[in-house]
C-alpha cells in the first residue's frame, strides 16, 4: 500500500510540473506513475515498479508525446518565428527617450516601461521627447509611428439647427 502513495505523489508532482511548463514533457511521467500506482499491488518489488515506470515513461516520451504534440498542432517549427503577441501595446502613446529611427532607439510607455523601438516608416526620425504611437511589436522592439492628428468631426445636423 505504501508503494501506491509513492507513485501517486510522483504523478502529482509531474502533473503540477506539466501544468507549469506546458511542453508535454512531464505528462508521460505523470501517466506512467499513475499506471504503476495501479500495478503496484501486482508488482510488490520496488525495483520492478521502477523498471516498469522507466519503460512506460520512455514509451510515453518517445511515442505518445510526439503524437500528442502533432495532434495539438504544437510541432510546427515555424511557431518560433511568429512575433510575440503584445497586443495590449498597440496604439499606446509613448515618449521617445533615445532618438528613434529605422535602426533603433528607445521609448517610454507610461511612467516607467522602457522599450527598444524603431520607426515603422524608414524615413521617420523622432527626437527625444517626441510623442509617438506603437504600431505593432516585433519581439521585444516596439515599432512606432507619429501620433495621428485628431480627426475633425463634421457638425451634426442637430448642431446646425440651433
Query: For residue 102, is pLDDT > 80?
Result: yes
Q: How far apart are the first and last CA of the chain?
A: 88
Q: Are 101 and 121 in contact (CB under 8 A)?
A: no
Q: Average pLDDT for residues 43-50, to the nearest whole number?
A: 90
Q: What percent of the chain has pLDDT over 90?
A: 49
For 48-86, what is each residue's pLDDT tens digit?
999 999 999 999 999 988 888 888 777 665 455 545 567
What local confidence, expressed as pLDDT, does residue 111 receive? Answer: 84
Q: What is the spatial distance between Cα 8 and Cα 4, in angstroms, rounded to a whole number?
A: 6
Q: What percent of the chain has pLDDT over 70?
A: 85
Residue spans per domain, the chain: 2-79, 87-146
For 2-19, what is each residue's pLDDT tens digit?
678 889 999 999 999 888
- Which is more confidently placed, 114 or 152? 114
87-146: CATH number: 2.40.50.140
Helix (H) or strand (E) holding 141: strand 141-146
φ, ψ dihedrals at 79, nearest 5°: -60, -35
Amino acid at each position: 500500500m505504501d508503494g501506491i502513495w509513492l507513485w501517486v505523489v510522483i504523478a502529482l508532482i509531474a502533473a503540477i510540473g506539466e501544468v507549469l511548463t506546458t511542453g508535454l514533457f512531464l505528462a508521460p511521467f505523470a501517466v506512467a506513475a499513475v499506471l504503476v500506482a495501479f500495478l503496484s499491488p501486482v508488482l510488490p518489488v520496488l525495483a520492478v515498479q521502477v523498471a516498469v515506470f522507466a519503460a512506460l515513461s520512455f514509451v510515453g516520451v518517445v511515442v505518445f508525446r510526439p503524437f500528442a504534440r502533432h495532434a495539438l498542432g504544437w510541432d510546427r517549427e515555424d511557431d518560433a518565428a511568429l512575433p510575440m503577441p503584445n497586443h495590449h501595446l498597440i496604439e499606446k502613446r509613448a515618449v521617445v527617450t533615445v532618438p528613434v529611427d529605422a535602426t533603433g532607439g528607445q521609448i517610454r510607455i507610461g511612467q516607467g516601461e522602457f522599450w527598444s523601438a524603431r520607426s515603422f516608416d524608414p524615413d521617420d526620425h523622432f527626437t527625444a521627447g517626441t510623442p509617438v504611437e506603437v504600431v505593432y511589436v516585433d519581439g521585444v522592439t516596439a515599432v512606432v509611428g507619429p501620433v495621428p492628428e485628431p480627426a475633425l468631426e463634421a457638425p451634426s445636423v442637430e448642431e446646425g439647427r440651433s
